[in-house]
Every structure is written in C-alpha cells, then in structure tokens.
C-alpha cells in the first residue's frame, strides 16, 4: 500500500488484517493487547518502523496554519467519546518505514512553511510509538518544518527534556480536572497528564490545552473548575480550546462492535459551552 492510499479522513475506519487477527485473540476490542506496547529499540542500526492509521493534508484544526497531520495507531486510553477507536491498537495501522514517511512529509515542506503551518503528529497516542515519533520530529526540524504533537500526556515520560525541544507546540488533552471523572472517562489516572503539563511549563515549552465538553460527563461545574485551575498554573499555556462533543465517531464504535455509552448524548448547547469557556476565562486564560 502506498502512502497516498492513507490520505483521507480521520473519520474513516481503518483496520489492518493484522489488527483484525489480533482482535480475534482477545475477549474484548477494548482490551489493551500485549502487542500494543512496542519494545524499545536495542539495535540503533535496525530499520525504524511505525504504524500509521491515516494522513490528512491541509488541516486547519490541528495547530497553527495549514497542517500535515499524521495519525499514528496505538493508545492506552479508552475515552468514552473517542472518535478514533480504530486507532486504539498499534497493529491496526499500516507499517511504514521512517524513510518512506519522511519522503512524503518533505514534499510538503515548502507549502507548509509558506502557510505558516507544519507537521502535527496525532493518533491514537503518538507517545506510544515514541521512537518513531521522535525521529520524525527530529528530521522534520532539520527540514525547517514547524512541529506539533497532539497528546494526552499520559506517556510523557517517553520523551526526554532534550527530545521535547524538537516539538514546537504541544496540543495537550486534559480530559477532566477531577481524578475520579478522568478515570471514568479514560480508564487511566489523571496524574501523569498533570505531571507532564507541569514539566512542559517548567521547560518553557509552548502548549495549547484542549478540553472536550461532553454533557453529563465532563460538564460538571466543579470538574471544569479543577481543570481551569490546572491550566491557570501553566506558565507556557497560550490558549484553551473547548471542543464540543459530537457523534461523528459513533459509526466506528458500531462497526467495531464496541458498547458506545454516549449514543444518546446530545452536543452541548451554546449556553453550556459559553459557561465552560467563561470558567476558564475567569483565570485570565485565552479561550476558544
């Protein structure tokens, strides 16, 4: 399969044959497969392989300017509102060498520069394929391309302080301010994300925080207050984006046979959205 065949929409359900075979070996698609977590590279001469879900060229919602967005496969979170559950398992993606994907990215270097855009690596969770992600960022920086990562921060420890210098902007998903609600939303603890956010702040690394507003799940006043307090303590936070819940990912859940608990949840009203935005603004934050 060529890279061009991966260019499309993040809302297309992509499952590789290998991913299908993995899924048949476990009780639930929502499980974390043993093969989801890659082993560290021991041999530096070994060819670097990554698993790619899809590519979007021309995005304007994944960082500044026009973006080349690379969606990697693999994530350890199981967010109730995830619109890309087909990226949960690493081997759902198509295998690509570093050389192949850098050849494609390089073709867009000039137009990305002209548009004041760049490369965004998303997923899934890019930090799950940390070696692949780091090398792409390092080589993209050498081409003069602005770099951005869309991450939940749960695996931030996979990046050294030096490696974070190759990432110009962090799009950090803080999915809840209350640890119990975060666990309910993601099945994982909140603290690693807070630790990563504080680390970025202390290192002086620019970041935007994204908060997904889901009625009945993340909209509680006190929960939003706690999330806003976390953000207020981040010295390098440039903006907060309130992302309104939508149902565009529901067909994927149905196709994959996963129980979708938010099937009857409506998008937040304008009034609720503005209330949440104002809670963040009350800390002096720039909110969109």
Which pLDDT tens digit goes with each residue over 208-259? 999 999 999 999 999 999 999 999 999 999 999 999 999 999 999 999 999 9
- Model confidence at 24, in pLDDT bands (50, 70, 90)? low
Structure tokens at 134: 């780091």
- Distance between CA atoms of 211 and 218, rounded to whole angstroms? 9
Structure tokens at 246: 């939508």
Residue with tokens 């990697």: 72
Residue 270, pLDDT > 90, answer yes
The pLDDT of residue 40 is 67
Sign of CA dihedral 159, 161, 165, 171: positive
The pLDDT of residue 35 is 85
Q: Does residue 10 or residue 78 have the better pLDDT? A: 78
Per DSSP, which regions of 17-168 are E strands?
49-59, 67-72, 94-97, 118-122, 146-151
Give backbone dihedrals phi and psi of 250, rounded to 5 degrees, phi first: -60, -40
Instruction: Count other Cβ atoms within 10 Å, centred on residue 115.
Output: 16
Q: Contact at 8 Å (CB) between 108 and 139?
A: no
From the list 246, 83, 230, 247, the residue with the least C-alpha distance to 150 is: 83
Residue 39, pLDDT > 80, answer no
What distances in angstroms separate CA 142 from CA 8, 132, 137, 267, one per listed residue? 27, 16, 9, 42
- Model confidence at 20, in pLDDT bands (50, 70, 90)? low
Residue 36: strand pairing partners = none
The pLDDT of residue 259 is 94
- Distance between CA atoms of 251 and 83, rounded to whole angstroms? 9
From the list 190, 177, 191, 271, the residue with the least C-alpha distance to 228 is: 177
Residue 150: strand pairing partners = 171
What distances in angstroms separate CA 173 from CA 2, 83, 186, 188, 222, one per listed residue? 31, 14, 12, 13, 18
Residue 141, pLDDT > 80, answer yes
Q: Does residue 59 or residue 16 have the better pLDDT? A: 59
Structure tokens at 197: 């956010």
In tens, the pLDDT along 105-116 reads: 999 999 999 999
Q: Where are the alpha helices (DSSP H) in the chain?
A: 17-23, 98-107, 109-114, 130-142, 161-164, 179-186, 191-203, 221-232, 250-256, 270-281
Q: Does residue 198 or residue 39 have the better pLDDT? A: 198
Peptide bond into 167 cis (omega under 30): no
The pLDDT of residue 22 is 67
The pLDDT of residue 3 is 41
Burial class (CB in 10 A: 0-12, 13-18, 19+), 100: middle
The pLDDT of residue 55 is 96
The pLDDT of residue 247 is 95
- Distance between CA atoms of 98 and 110, rounded to whole angstroms? 20
Residue 5, pLDDT > 50, answer no
Stretch 116-133: mean pLDDT = 96
Right CATH number for 3-33+44-281 from 3.10.110.10, 3.20.20.70, 3.40.50.300, 3.30.360.10?
3.20.20.70
Residue 25, pLDDT > 70, answer no
What distances in angstroms separate CA 255 from CA 12, 128, 185, 258, one per listed residue? 11, 24, 21, 8
């Amino acid at each position: 399969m060529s890279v061009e065949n991966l260019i499309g929409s993040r809302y297309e359900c992509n499952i590789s044959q290998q991913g299908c075979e993995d899924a048949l070996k476990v009780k639930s698609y929502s499980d974390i497969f043993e093969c989801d977590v890659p082993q560290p590279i021991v041999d530096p001469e070994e060819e670097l392989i990554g698993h790619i879900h899809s590519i979007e060229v021309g995005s304007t919602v994944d960082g500044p300017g026009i973006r080349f967005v690379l969606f990697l496969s693999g994530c350890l979170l199981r967010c109730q509102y995830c619109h890309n559950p087909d990226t949960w398992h690493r081997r759902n993606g198509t295998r690509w060498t570093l050389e192949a994907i850098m050849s494609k990215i390089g073709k867009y270097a000039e137009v990305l520069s002209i548009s004041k855009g760049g490369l965004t690596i998303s997923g899934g969770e890019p930090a799950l394929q940390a070696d692949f992600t780091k090398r792409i960022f390092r080589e993209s920086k050498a081409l003069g391309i602005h770099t951005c990562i869309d991450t939940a921060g749960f695996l931030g420890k996979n990046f050294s302080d030096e490696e974070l210098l190759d990432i110009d902007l962090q799009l950090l998903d803080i999915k809840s301010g209350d640890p119990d609600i975060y666990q309910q939303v993601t099945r994982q603890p909140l603290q690693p994300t807070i630790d990563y956010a504080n680390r970025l702040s202390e290192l002086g690394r620019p970041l935007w925080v994204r908060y997904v507003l889901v009625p009945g799940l993340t909209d509680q006043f006190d929960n939003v207050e706690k999330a806003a307090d976390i953000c207020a303590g981040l010295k390098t936070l440039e903006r907060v984006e309130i992302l309104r819940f939508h149902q565009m990912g529901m067909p994927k859940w149905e196709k994959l046979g996963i129980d979708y608990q938010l099937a009857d949840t409506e998008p937040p009203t304008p009034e609720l959205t503005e209330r949440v935005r104002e809670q963040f603004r009350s800390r002096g934050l720039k909110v969109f």
